[in-house]
Chains A and B, each alone.
Chain A
Amino acid sequence: MNPQSSPPDPQPPTRVAFRVFGVGNAGVNVVEQMIVAGLPASCCVALNADAASLASCSAADKLTLESSLLRGLGTGGDPERGRTIAREHSAKLQEFCEGVGVAFVVAGLGGGTGTGVTPELVRCAKAAGSMVIAFGILPFECEGSLRNQMALEGCHELRATADLLVSLPNQNSLALIDASTSLVDTFKHTNRMIGDLVRASCRFLAAQGVMGLPFGELCTLVRQRSAAIALATAEAAGPERAAEALAQLLRHPMLGGAETLHEAQAAAVCIVAGPGLAMIEVNRLMDEIQKLCPGVPIMMGAGIAENAGETLWAGLLVARLGAIPAEEELPCIARNIIPHPRAAASGKFEDHLLSAEPEARPKSRFVPPAPSMPQEKMEQLFARQTAPSRMRKAGGPKLRQGQLPLEIVSKGRFEKSEPTIHKGEDLDVPTYVRRGVVLN
């Protein structure tokens, strides 16, 4: 956990203008915490459907996502409503993103506003030409499976829209507290930690790169191998600052322990310090991390911040596969082949001629099976269908536009020819990539 010091905060440099967006209650609280810790209020934007939470926030730009649809009641935990009102306000959202180089979007996923509004905001930011790094705060496990499931779906959508999605499971912050910590303090700790992560990210992007970490390349590297991306940052000073920073990184609760590094698919390290940054320090840090995850592609960047003094900041980004277990259960569109029971079971094609008992004919070979979903989700969908709410009838689009996943896959030979789009899928992209088959 980072001490509550107030380090010299990065001023928005002229090169990369950035803005921090807090969406929903959790996002607004994190932004508020960051302003308290010294981030200029002018680069913060707070968005919420709840006017009361915005009133207490000191961000320069605030937007109450209000419409006749909600009647002052908030989104009521329905992401669909969040999405609708975000669309109503899309012009305003785009205005916020005008001229912003990098947009940091902080949102608590699992609720109505965070889950519904954030993807729309990301889309607006992308439309305005900004890079988007999203920080998705996942709910505590004790908050219930429904909320967790919603958060995962939000994650899924955000990963497709944002350039980079860092997932921050609240559950991990339990490591920060002891038995006597109050609920209020727990949230304070968590918010502070997340605020630190976001501010550190700003710092890494703002620092003058000596060994630059190209953001686009980083996104490509991570996207190809990502399921979940964890971020840890550290701050240290003194003669042994490199070793200290490394220890802090590995201890960081959001990393989930040093074992995470063993199952990493890709990693990126960023080091920022004053002009006195020594090569030997960079080398030591990188050496240790490379030892922890051998054979994994690691990107590295080092930057100089003039106002850093003796402090060294280090950030570690780790992309893992399958860290979120429920993720794989989400229905995958492309994976709709139903293996023939006999062919799959026997392996020999002629075998079935010998088997005497007739089998029921499979219903259809080319229609995908109904997506499997947990009981709660089914009930939720059922409730939504059977209970016609007045608000729904009052208006608001029910159709959701489908989205192509934003894959950065080279199309090689077909780069210049007309893409073969079949039902929204680009067939020029290798099948195994689209289906997410992993070649180890």
Chain B
Amino acid sequence: MFDPSSIIVGLEIGTSKVCAVVGEMSQDGSLNIIGLGQSRSRGVRKGEIADAPAAEEDVRQAIVEAEQMADVEIRSVYLGVTGGHVRGFNNRGVHHIASADREISEADVQDVIKNAKTINLPAQNHVIHAIRQHFLVDGQDGIGNPVGMLGSRVEVDVHVVHGNLNRLQNAIRIVKGLQLEVEDIVYTGLASSLALLTNEQKELGALVIDFGGGTTEYVLYSNGIIKHTGVLAVGGDHVSNDLAYGLKISLGRAERLKVDYGNALVSEEDKGQTVTIASESGMPVKVVNTEHLRRIMSLRLEEVFMLIGQDLEHAGMLDYLRAGVFLSGGGARIPQVAKLAEQVFQMPVTIGKANTISGLKSALEQPEFATGIGLVKYGSFQQRNKIVKRKAGLKDKLGQLFRGDRR
């Protein structure tokens, strides 16, 4: 039962919080969230490590909390990575079938995928993911598995997510410094989308926007595959900073005002309304106009959605979203943010919930834990592959042994 491989931990070192989610994979492969640890993050700016010692301390705290809650020992984690340097693009690989009968074999498929993953990137860039999309056989599109088909030429599209190696290493080093193993690094946008979307929604076409503290990630699915990813190094921190600048208050107060009185839309009732900021001793310090507060927030949020919209329009993907837009991350908690997004994208927008796995209700309902849960889910896929491979490996070996015996 307590085979270490059945415990999967997702760790996200975010700009506003560090969060570790512990999942348990049962024998039949189903996933259950059993623990959650989090701590305030102090060493991260715009999704990237800015103060390593502080970040390390925060990670330790989150891991310890998760260990206590789940009552397990954490040895390895799936680490979420993001930052303004992370980019995604589509690449295509081609392979000609050499065999006489023109039947596509497993080896051909492996070859074509290998070709697609050969990408000309600068040396300092590291490929985080190369996600397989659809195959094309002799120009025929949308083939899930071409093995056994006849054709002379097989092509495959992969979606490549890459980032700056040194900046990715920063996060990895912190985790390694705590004597934890990093099983794999995962782009956090991908993780969030795994937690939020059902297969049906991926099939219909959906956009996941993870509005985090320092960065906003977005991932677009169409026909069940990832078509487009992107990171915008703008997040909730920017909203607070705008408020601090515009209302001339400290960042801490701006943060609190944002949470208490923030709204993504400016309504008629806000006109002339004011909020009084009180000091610790209860004395009124400053009176802030609610309309200004909401106008500043609304403009920033609207701009983020507009920039994402422009990027998708540029990629020609905006009309493939039939399931609509799903919001996650701390930004999804802003009142009426879905309505604002609806106005910008002009399609249904929902606050995403990690409905696809079972476990702690309190963890699954929160939009800001979507990434952590998604990391666990990603981990479970990897683990399943490993188990399958291990089994296959054993069989092969036995087979060889027997064959060798016969020989």
Contacts and interface: CB of A to CB of B under 8 A. Distances in A.
Given A364-B313, A365-B313, A417-B45, A410 B343 contact: no
Contacts of A411: 241
Contacts of B339: 349
B46 A417 contact: yes
B306 A349 contact: no
B292 A412 contact: no
Contacts of A435: 299
B36 interface: no
B300 interface: yes
Given A365-B346, A412-B251, A417-B45, A427 B238 contact: yes
B288 to A, nearest CB: 11
A349 B265 CA distance: 13
Interface in B295-309: 295-296, 299-300, 302-303, 306-307, 309
Contacts of B232: 420, 422, 427
Contact of B241 (A339, A366, A413): A413
A215 interface: no
B65 interface: no
Interface string B347-389: 0000000000000000000000000000000000000000000
Nearest to A437: B299
Given A365-B313, A366-B309, A417-B45, A432 B299 contact: yes
Contacts, number: 90
A316 B303 CA distance: 39
A420 B233 contact: yes
B295 A422 contact: no
Nearest to A362: B346
Contact of A420 (B84, B242, B346): B84
Contact of A430 (B246, B306, B345): B246
A268 B296 CA distance: 29
Contact of B300 (A336, A364, A420, A430): A430
A263 to B, nearest CB: 21
B295 A431 contact: no
A413 B237 CA distance: 8
Contacts of B45: 413-414, 416-417
Contact of A366 (B292, B295, B310): B310
B265 to A, nearest CB: 10
Contacts of A422: 232, 307
A437 B295 contact: yes
A367 interface: yes
Contacts of B54: none
B149 interface: no
Contact of A412 (B46, B245, B303, B307): B245
A332 interface: no
A418 B46 contact: yes
A337 B242 CA distance: 20
Contacts of B238: 414, 427-428
B142 to A, nearest CB: 27
B300 A417 contact: no
B345 to A, nearest CB: 8
B244 interface: yes
A366 B251 contact: no
25 contacts: A343-B343, A349-B339, A365-B309, A365-B313, A365-B345, A367-B313, A412-B251, A413-B237, A414-B46, A417-B45, A417-B46, A418-B46, A418-B84, A427-B232, A427-B233, A427-B238, A428-B241, A430-B300, A431-B300, A432-B242, A432-B296, A435-B299, A437-B295, A439-B289, A439-B292
Interface of B: 45-46, 50, 84, 232-234, 237-238, 240-242, 244-246, 251, 289, 292, 295-296, 299-300, 302-303, 306-307, 309-310, 313, 318, 339, 342-346
Given A427-B303, A430-B246, 20 more contacts: A337-B306, A349-B339, A349-B342, A410-B245, A411-B241, A414-B237, A417-B46, A418-B46, A420-B233, A422-B232, A422-B307, A427-B234, A427-B238, A428-B241, A430-B245, A430-B296, A431-B299, A431-B300, A435-B299, A437-B295
